Amino acid sequence: MSAYRGRFAPSPTGPLHAGSLVAALASWLDARAQGGTWLVRIEDVDRPRCVPGADEEILRQLAACGLVPDEEPVWQSQRDGLYQAALDRLAAAGDAYPCACSRKDIEEALRALGRERPRHGELVYPGTCRGGLHGRTARAWRFRVAPGVVQWQDRRLGPQQQFVAEAVGDFVLQRADGLFAYQLAVVVDDADQGITHVVRGEDLADNTARQLLLQGALGLPTPAYLHTPLVLGANGEKLSKQNGAAPLDLRDPLAALQSAAATLGLTIPGEQALAGWLSSAVEAWAAQWTITA
Ligand code: GLU
């Protein structure tokens, strides 16, 4: 086994669908092509969005496709202690601060500044609580984003950059309901699990700069990133549980895998048993990304 450690990190908001299988397969193929270890982490940090039983269903679906993690899966809902410790460190260093603003407060502050236009429906926090709460009650914790550009290299998308302060602003680390935010949990977990390579859907590419900033502030290593192509639904939007993607039909795992492979630009002879198909897919992946394990 090489030092490579990769992961698939599904949120259990429903069963796997054709889109999420692409990320699962790509992360597995990359780990196998590099002689590495492949993990599954159930990202159930956002409890209200999780569907009971979806985690076990996802693990069954992966297994039916021959994608079996090399170590026991972990559940984010059992790891609050790690996220709290990271938040405490950020707060002690002045990189995180408490925020008393409700969404309405933020909207009003942005309107007063003439900056009310939301980005992807998310509001760029105007920094109201950066200088202290002034007697108001803390609701959430935010990361203090320094001005400047964050640059990184994506293995598939090439050079990437984001001006996080302008594009996103001081983002939430712990929400008003006490739940830790995805950005903090994913950074803490990737480091705690020794993840060297992140392979995930392109819809998440936009989060990478925020994660790099958190890694820097916490003194954690930055993994290599590869964001995979998305499967689009009939409406041209990313296929997702939210827009009604059908769960994978596991009566024919090979057909599901074949179509995930096609999305990844891999052509693999279909007329073979699962194990043979998966080895051909590893070879095709290694050839596409010129990996010599
Ligand atoms: N849990 C996230 C999702 O299902 C993926 C997180 C990641 O791979 O970084 O969209």
Mean pLDDT of the chain: 94
Question: Looking at the annotation, which residues are catalytic?
Answer: 241
Q: Where are the domains of the chain?
A: 5-78+187-288, 81-174
- Residues near 45 by beta carbon (within 8 Å), at least 6 away in sequence: 76, 77, 83, 179, 180, 181, 182, 185
Q: What is the predicted pLDDT for the residue at 256?
A: 94
The pLDDT of residue 146 is above 80? yes
Task: Give the architecture (CATH level 2) of 5-78+187-288.
Answer: 3-Layer(aba) Sandwich (3.40)
Q: Is the CB of 200 under 6 A from ligand 1?
A: yes
The reply to whether 81-174 shares the fold of 5-78+187-288 is no
Structure tokens at 42: 């159930």
Phi then psi dihedrals of residue 88, to 5 deg: -60, -40
The answer to whether the beta carbons of residues 16 and 28 sit under 8 Å apart is no
Structure tokens at 72: 């026991």
Strand order in the sheet with 5-8: 74-75, 37-42, 5-8, 197-201, 224-228, 150-154, 158-162
Q: Is the CB of 43 under 6 A from ligand 1?
A: yes
Mean pLDDT, residues 82-89 taken together: 98
Residue 8 Cα to ligand 1 midpoint, Å, equals 8
pLDDT tier for residue 189 given thresholds of 50, 70 and 90:
very high
State the closest ligand 1 atom to the C-alpha of 190, by its place in the atom list counted from 1. 9
Residue 108 Cα to ligand 1 midpoint, Å, equals 31
Q: Residue with the nearest Cα to atom 5 of ligand 1? A: 9
Q: What is the predicted pLDDT for the residue at 117?
A: 67
Q: What is the predicted pLDDT for the residue at 21?
A: 97
Residue 281 Cα to ligand 1 midpoint, Å, equals 23
The answer to whether the beta carbons of residues 238 and 206 sit under 8 Å apart is no
Q: Is the CB of 204 under 6 A from ligand 1?
A: yes
pLDDT tier for residue 236 given thresholds of 50, 70 and 90:
confident
**Cα angle: 184, vertex 16, 238; to 5 degrees:** 75
State the closest ligand 1 atom to the C-alpha of 211, by its place in the atom list counted from 1. 9
The pLDDT of residue 212 is above 70? yes
In angstroms, the CA 175 to CA 97 distance is 12
pLDDT digits (tens, 9 = 90+) for 10-62: 999 999 999 999 999 999 999 999 999 999 999 999 999 999 999 999 999 99
CATH number corresponding to 81-174 = 3.90.800.10
Structure tokens at 212: 């790099």
The β-bridge relationship of strands 158-162 and 150-154 is antiparallel
Mean pLDDT, residues 152-161 taken together: 98
Residue 173, number of CB atoms within 10 A of its CB: 25
Residue 151 Cα to ligand 1 midpoint, Å, equals 21
